[in-house]
């Protein structure tokens, strides 16, 4: 049964339509939601709801918010090109520092104790720099070029003792909190090699815990990611100083680390929720890919984490064997495992929800890895149907879908059901595509293909599945109430994906 939509929320969310079916419990944001309705009468509902709880919002401040597009961080590690998030995310700089510190060591040849020690020391140093240097580059001078340079990493590496832990020995910290399911991540590679690493968050569990009446929108509590009090840990135990102090119009530091990796024969996309531990989870995942692991093995890797303060190495349950834990403690590391906790203050037995996908370019194979720790999330490779020599993907994108060739050119139409009458309405036409060359245009309604009536999207899909590569189609259209016929030539050659 389709859930009923409160009319006051319909300005922001509507049920998703997939072909002729409206999907229950799934909603998409309307175009108006991108501005969150600040210029409409309903905008007052959000402002009133926040002010009723003691918040201080103004319509002027919210309408002035703009999304900033920033240049990603790029660096190399062991034959891989890495692309990751820039400030005000701290994850990219930290990942660049840690991997470049570790690159000269052949980690695969080391014992588990030696490897864990070196990785932990790299974590410690990256988080120390995170605390002092990172913030919103629109407001503070972040020495990014220095922090991500190989020369700076070499200097940090020189301070790592191969057999001893380096005491953080600065300020006391707080206990690592239990994991909250408050952040999500998805990793995608499509048939044309396009890729997405998307991490989004409301910060803590249910964000601020407030849905302003009349909006249907859960408000975040990202303010906790500011250094609200200099040198005092936040909910994730990480500290900050002046660089991440709150200021009007300033964006707070985050730990999100959506990342691309590309080598000669492989592409990988990865990321995870997990607060400050996102950074180290992505680090361990990147090291796993560098070791040659497949996507699912990367998602399942045991996890450990050090964030400079508190000066402790936290591990998942059974992440490290007892003899390795003992050896690390003998080197001076404070190791906190769930098994050791006696006072009720303990790290989670498991944490994170890493989602990753990889592409083996040599064999043109896609594989996925979904974190086995968490039932929320799954990995799937969409099999492209091959019907009489024509590879097609009927992938659905929101309320429309696109016919595409596997690893090659699109027919070039995105379609949806018409609201009145029969046919399939054209939402978009890809420039230079077979549809565009045939003269099909946006808002055309396809009513027949080769004489067969098309009453809806499903009928067009069924017709498409019977087609062969290299054929010529006669497509009947309704354009502005007038009937029109066009000829669509489907290419014979299927090209391979090329990033």
- Report the C-alpha gap between 258 and 285 in whole angstroms: 12
Active site residue 183: yes
DSSP string, 309-339: SS--EEE-TTSS-HHHHHHHHHTT--EE-GG
**Helix locations, 291-394, DSSP H:** 295-300, 322-330
Please check whether residue 416 is in contact with residue 467, taking contact to mean a CB–CB distance below 8 angstroms.
no
Give the number of other Cβ atoms within 10 Å of residue 40's Cβ.
12
What residues form DSSP beta bridges with 389?
none
- Report the C-alpha gap between 358 and 263 in whole angstroms: 11
φ, ψ of residue 367 to 5 degrees: the values are -135, 150
Q: Out of 183, 350, 368, 447, which one is annotated catalytic? A: 183
- Report the C-alpha gap between 113 and 320 in whole angstroms: 9
SS3 18: strand
Comparing CA positions, the residue from 412, 429, 404 lying closest to residue 495 is 404
Give the number of other Cβ atoms within 10 Å of residue 463's Cβ.
18
Catalytic residue positions?
183
């Amino acid at each position: 049964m389709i859930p009923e939509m409160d009319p006051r929320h319909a300005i922001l969310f509507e049920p998703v339509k997939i072909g002729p079916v409206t999907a229950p419990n799934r909603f998409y944001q309307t175009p108006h939601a991108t501005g969150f309705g600040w210029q409409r009468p309903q905008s007052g509902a959000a402002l009133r709801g926040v002010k009723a709880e003691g918040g201080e919002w103004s319509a002027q401040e919210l309408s002035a918010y703009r999304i900033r597009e920033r240049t990603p961080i790029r660096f190399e590690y062991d034959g891989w090109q890495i692309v990751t998030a820039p400030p005000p995310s701290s994850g990219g700089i930290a990942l660049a520092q840690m991997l470049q510190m570790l690159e000269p060591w052949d980690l695969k040849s080391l014992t588990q104790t030696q490897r864990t020690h070196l990785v932990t020391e790299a974590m410690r140093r990256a988080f120390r720099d995170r605390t002092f240097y990172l913030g919103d580059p629109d407001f503070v001078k972040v020495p990014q070029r220095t922090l991500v340079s190989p020369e700076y990493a070499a200097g940090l590496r020189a301070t790592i003792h191969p057999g001893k832990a380096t005491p953080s020995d600065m300020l006391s910290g707080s206990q690592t909190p239990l994991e909250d399911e408050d952040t999500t991540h998805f990793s995608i590679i499509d048939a044309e090699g396009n890729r997405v690493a998307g991490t989004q968050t409301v910060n803590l569990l249910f964000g601020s815990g407030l849905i302003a009446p009349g909006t249907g929108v859960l408000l975040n509590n990202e303010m906790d990611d500011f250094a609200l009090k200099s040198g005092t840990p936040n909910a994730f135990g990480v500290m900050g100083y002046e660089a991440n102090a709150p200021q009007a119009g300033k964006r707070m530091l985050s730990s999100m680390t959506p990342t691309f990796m590309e080598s000669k024969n492989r592409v990988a996309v990865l990321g995870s929720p997990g607060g400050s531990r996102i950074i180290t989870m992505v680090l361990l995942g990147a090291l796993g890919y560098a070791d040659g692991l497949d996507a699912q093995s990367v998602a399942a890797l045991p996890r450990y984490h050090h964030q400079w303060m508190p000066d402790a190495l936290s591990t998942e349950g059974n992440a490290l064997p007892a003899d390795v834990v003992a050896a690390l403690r003998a080197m001076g590391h404070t190791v906190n495992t769930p098994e050791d906790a006696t006072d009720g203050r303990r790290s989670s037995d498991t944490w994170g929800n890493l989602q990753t996908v990889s592409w083996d370019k040599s064999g043109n194979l896609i594989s996925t890895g979904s974190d086995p720790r968490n039932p929320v999330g799954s990995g799937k490779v969409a099999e492209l149907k091959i019907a009489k020599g024509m590879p097609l993907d009927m992938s659905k994108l929101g309320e429309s879908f696109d016919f595409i060739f596997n690893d090659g050119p699109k027919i070039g139409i995105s379609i949806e059901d018409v609201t009145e009458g029969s046919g399939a309405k054209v939402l978009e036409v890809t420039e230079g595509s077979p549809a565009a060359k045939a003269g099909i245009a946006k808002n055309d309604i396809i009513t027949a293909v080769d004489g067969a009536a098309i009453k809806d999207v499903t009928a067009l899909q069924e017709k498409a599945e019977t087609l062969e590569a290299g054929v010529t189609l006669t497509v009947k259209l309704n354009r502005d109430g007038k009937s029109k016929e066009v000829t669509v030539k489907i290419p014979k050659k299927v090209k391979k994906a090329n990033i």
